[in-house]
Amino acid sequence: MTTYFEKQLKEIEHSIHSIDMEIFEKMVNSAVSAINNGHKVIVSGLGKNVPICDKFVGSMVSMGLDACFLHTNSAIHGDMGVVKNGDMVIMLTKSGETAESIYLTRLLKKRKIDMWLLTFAKDSTLTNEIPNCLILDLNHEGDLWNVMPNNSTTINLIVLQGLAMMIANRLKLDIGQFKRNHPGGHIGEMLK
């Protein structure tokens, strides 16, 4: 059983080492710029990426940073109203070929936003349409068939949490901002 976990750790390590750090740095700078200018960071995805997006948003807002989740499917039914000029939008899609993601991207490109793509496909419809792409390499999903979103969603979580932490670092946030927004639970007790 341990060998399964060791194998997945190698897969995740491979993907993390495939990050183009110049592009990731540009992504951090874009997010910091959006926040400093009174805008927000929006993450959009569907399927198994929904809880990944939720976790990123939860981390951001607990630090007092403006972020929200835009469900790729619900967006076209009115939720796009959350996207304002100057916002940064990060689209999550493993293949870059998901029909709903392509449709939403084309609608969002008509707005004055900073559009980003987090994907595992080097050449796709969305890597060709979105100028800012953070493309990761993935050898295997870690399931029996190399189909289920397993390692890809774990890596997306790591990347987005890394983004949140780098934003906090760049903005020189102190624990007070987090403490103010997190008075409950064990963490709240610990920070009293």
| pLDDT, tens only, 126-178 | 999 999 999 999 999 999 999 999 999 999 999 999 999 999 999 999 998 88
Dist CA 46 CA 48 (whole Å): 6
pTM for this model (two decimals): 0.96
- Using one digit for the tens of pLDDT, what is the confidence trace for 27-86? 999 999 999 999 999 999 999 999 999 999 999 999 999 999 999 999 999 999 999 999
Alpha-carbon span 192 to 180, nearest angstrom: 10
**CA dist., res. 17 & res. 104, Å (int):** 30
Instruction: Note down the domain range covering 47.
Output: 2-190
CATH number of residue 170's parent domain? 3.40.50.10490
| Amino acid identity for residue 124 in this structure | S
Residue 129: phi and psi, rounded to 5, are: -105, -25
DSSP 112: S
Instruction: Please report the pLDDT score of residue 177 as a whole number.
Output: 84
Chain centroid to CA 85: how far?
Answer: 19
Whether residue 1 is predicted with pLDDT greater than 80 in this model: the reply is no
- Among residues 101, 94, 106, 131, the alpha carbon closest in space to that of 116 is found at 131
Q: What gap in Å lies between CA 91 and CA 126, rounded to an integer?
A: 9
Structural domains of the chain, count:
1
